[in-house]
């Protein structure tokens, strides 16, 4: 490897890429979050006339339905992103999400047209899910390929920090909308139409994101891989752009490891962001205003923690941070749910903090580690399949499963046990994964911050166990068997 083989990051282009990917991710999760924060209101709007408990399950099923199609989005949009580029697919996902969310805000209520309105609601949630299937996997792949290897954890973690800002913004918009319309038009104002405002706000926000994404550059690692004609049969599999079948064939160990990590991450995070407001309102009788304010406070705390944890992982490694996250869930969740039962405002805030802390450690790792599991030629497809399968089966169904477990068992701690089970699986996966911090992405040359750093890497590559030239496309194309995953 020569110094000239390294990719030196253009700082201006990196900032542009991060902002373009991040603002879309922010809006994407605002769109998802407002449905969770309005779940109780949406139950009255779209299931009027049903038993209240059944109606809530129907509403939460709408949240789960969007996650059922996420793997389909990942399976189609991921390989497409490996073929035509990350930027083009990210542009499409943002336009689709903004359109679907806006249309939800225009739907008539069940009181106006009947319960059949649940069908178009579910269809629009499915469009959201399809879009999301290509969103985070594409954004994390894109930013990871743009980031210097030494700070990849930090730069990719900003995406999840943006996601939490999106959730927090969604909660704040719901709270402010509720306060404003109730003050102006009375207690029934949210049910009468105030609930539409957060959904309709997705249109101007989406237009801003679409314009920004139309101007971001393509990932330099993707462009470099495209120049090498990686579809030729004599290349090692990691340099070949695989279809869905061969992604499973070549990378099933990484898929299993990734699914275990995302299952723990997703159940933990969606419990906090999408089910906890419903749990606190329906099981404990907490006022909606209190749960919204508490959620915003805790999510903002996560926004601060995520980049700090990610920076720490760039220094000491991803595996130690995952151990902290999994053990944190095993130790803190039961005390957190006990605190929720105490019924005081202080105990509510402390409980949410205990749930949010290990979740922040998971979120700090997700973008970097998912991208580090797969090689450049098939990264978008690999991340799309892995992330969306796990988040759909386990994360997105968390609100529904959590509510079902409470109703079936009568045990208010049941959701905590559910999350803890997946944390145990993640702990096993961490023991099986390789360390990836400060190493070049598989199938790519090192990405560095300066020419001087490139020269240092090239000069010390023989003694640096982080450098494996057999996983890089250099001057000569590697032959079959030159490397192993």
Looking at residue 281, its pLDDT comes to 67
Question: Is residue 237 scored above 80 in pLDDT?
Answer: no
pLDDT confidence tier of residue 482, bands split at 50, 70 and 90:
very low
pLDDT confidence tier of residue 484, bands split at 50, 70 and 90:
very low
Spatial distance between the Cα atoms of 403 and 40, rounded to a whole number of angstroms: 13
Least confident among 212-226, 248-262, 350-364, 380-394:
212-226
Spatial distance between the Cα atoms of 244 and 68, rounded to a whole number of angstroms: 18
Spatial distance between the Cα atoms of 437 and 210, rounded to a whole number of angstroms: 32
Spatial distance between the Cα atoms of 266 and 259, rounded to a whole number of angstroms: 10
Phi, psi (rounded to 5 degrees) for 387: -65, -45
Q: pLDDT, tens digit, for every residue of 152-171? A: 999 999 988 888 888 878 87
User: In this structure, are residues 430 and 319 in contact, taking their beta carbons and an 8 Å threshold?
Assistant: yes
Mean pLDDT of 398-416: 84
Looking at residue 277, its pLDDT comes to 67
Looking at residue 229, its pLDDT comes to 54
Looking at residue 68, its pLDDT comes to 82
Spatial distance between the Cα atoms of 372 and 238, rounded to a whole number of angstroms: 13
48-77 burial, b at 16+ Cβ within 10 Å, e below that, comes to bebeeeebbbbbbbbbbbbbbbbbebbbbb
Domains and CATH numbers, the chain: 7-216+240-457 (1.20.1250.20)
pLDDT confidence tier of residue 235, bands split at 50, 70 and 90:
low
Question: Is residue 301 scored above 70 in pLDDT?
Answer: yes
Question: Which of the 8 DSSP states describes residue 45?
Answer: H
Which percentage of the chain shows pLDDT scores above 70?
91
Q: Give residue 479's region: left, alpha or beta (phi > 0; psi -120 to 50).
A: beta
Give, to the nearest 10 degrees, the angle between helix 276-283 and helix 288-316.
140
Which position has the token pair 């019924």? 343
Q: What is the three-class DSSP state of 274? A: helix
Q: pLDDT, tens digit, for every residue of 42-81? A: 888 898 888 877 888 888 788 778 878 888 888 899 888 8
Of the candidates 243, 483, 485, the one whose C-alpha atom is nearest the C-alpha of residue 385 is: 243
Looking at residue 479, its pLDDT comes to 36
Mean pLDDT of 319-331: 96
Looking at residue 478, its pLDDT comes to 39
Q: What is the three-class DSSP state of 230? A: coil
pLDDT confidence tier of residue 274, bands split at 50, 70 and 90:
low
Looking at residue 483, its pLDDT comes to 35
Looking at residue 475, its pLDDT comes to 57
Spatial distance between the Cα atoms of 459 and 475, rounded to a whole number of angstroms: 17
Q: pLDDT, tens digit, for every residue of 283-295? A: 666 666 666 677 7
Which percentage of the chain shows pLDDT scores above 90?
31
Highest average pLDDT, of 2-6, 251-255, 276-280, 343-347, comes from 251-255
User: In this structure, are residues 167 and 273 in contact, taking their beta carbons and an 8 Å threshold?
Assistant: yes
Mean pLDDT of 84-95: 87
Least confident among 100-109, 279-288, 429-438, 443-452:
279-288
pTM to 2 decimal places: 0.82
pLDDT confidence tier of residue 324, bands split at 50, 70 and 90:
very high
Quote the mean pLDDT of the chain. Answer: 85
Bridge-based pairing state of the strands 7-8 and 447-448: parallel
Highest average pLDDT, of 83-87, 153-157, 478-482, comes from 153-157
Of the candidates 267, 258, 276, 302, the one whose C-alpha atom is nearest the C-alpha of residue 160 is: 302
Mean pLDDT of 436-446: 89
Mean pLDDT of 291-311: 85
pLDDT confidence tier of residue 233, bands split at 50, 70 and 90:
very low
Q: Which residues contact 409 (CB under 8 A, 6 or more apart)?
A: none
Higher pLDDT, 371 or 463: 371
Q: pLDDT, tens digit, for every residue of 351-399? A: 888 989 999 999 999 999 999 999 988 899 999 999 988 988 887 778 7
Question: Is residue 268 scored above 70 in pLDDT?
Answer: yes
Looking at residue 37, its pLDDT comes to 77
In 341-450, where does DSSP find H-type helix? 345-373, 379-390, 398-409, 414-432
């Amino acid at each position: 490897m020569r110094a000239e083989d390294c990719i030196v990051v253009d700082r201006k282009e990196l900032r542009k890429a991060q902002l373009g990917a991040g603002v879309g991710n922010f809006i994407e999760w605002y769109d998802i979050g407002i449905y969770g924060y309005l779940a109780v209101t949406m139950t009255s709007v779209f299931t009027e006339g049903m038993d209240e408990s059944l109606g809530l399950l129907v509403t939460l099923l709408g949240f789960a339905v969007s996650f059922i199609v996420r793997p389909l989005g990942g399976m189609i949009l991921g390989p497409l992103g490996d073929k035509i580029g990350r930027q083009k697919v990210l542009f499409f996902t943002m336009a689709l999400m903004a359109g679907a969310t806006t249309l939800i805000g225009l739907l008539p209520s069940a009181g106006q047209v009947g319960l059949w309105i649940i069908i178009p609601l579910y269809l629009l949630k499915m469009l959201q899910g399809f879009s999301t299937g290509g969103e985070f996997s594409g954004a994390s792949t894109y930013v990871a390929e743009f980031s210097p290897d030494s700070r990849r954890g930090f730069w990719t973690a900003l995406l999840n920090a943006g996601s939490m800002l999106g959730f927090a913004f969604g909660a704040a918009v719901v709270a402010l909308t509720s306060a404003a319309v109730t003050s102006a038009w009375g207690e029934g104002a949210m049910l009468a139409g105030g609930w539409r405002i957060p959904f309709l706000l997705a249109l101007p926000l989406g237009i801003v994101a679409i314009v920004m994404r139309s101007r971001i550059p393509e990932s330099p690692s993707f462009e470099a891989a495209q120049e090498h004609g990686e579809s030729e049969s004599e290349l090692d599999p990691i340099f070949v752009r695989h279809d869905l079948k061969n992604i499973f064939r070549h990378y099933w160990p990484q898929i299993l490891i990734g699914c275990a990590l995302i299952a723990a991450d997703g159940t933990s995070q969606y419990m906090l962001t999408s089910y906890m407001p419903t749990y606190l309102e329906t099981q404990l009788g907490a006022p909606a205003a209190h749960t919204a304010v508490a959620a915003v406070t805790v999510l903002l705390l996560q926004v601060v923690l995520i980049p700090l944890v990610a920076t720490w992982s760039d220094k000491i490694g991803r595996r130690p941070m995952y151990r902290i996250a999994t053990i944190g869930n095993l130790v803190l969740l039961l005390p957190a749910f006990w605190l929720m039962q105490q019924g005081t405002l202080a105990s509510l805030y402390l409980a949410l903090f205990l749930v949010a802390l290990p979740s922040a450690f998971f979120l700090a790792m997700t973008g970097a580690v998912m991208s580090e599991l797969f090689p450049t030629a098939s990264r978008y497809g690999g991340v799309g399949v892995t992330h969306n399968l796990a988040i759909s089966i386990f994360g997105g169904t968390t609100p529904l499963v959590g509510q079902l477990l409470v109703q079936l068992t009568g045990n208010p701690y049941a959701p905590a046990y559910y999350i803890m089970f997946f944390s145990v699986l993640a702990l096993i996966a961490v023991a099986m994964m390789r360390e990836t911090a400060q190493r070049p992405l598989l199938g790519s040359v090192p990405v560095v911050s300066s020419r001087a750093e490139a020269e240092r890497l090239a000069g010390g590559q023989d003694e640096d166990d982080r450098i494996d030239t057999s996983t890089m496309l250099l001057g000569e194309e590697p032959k079959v068997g030159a490397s192993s995953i």
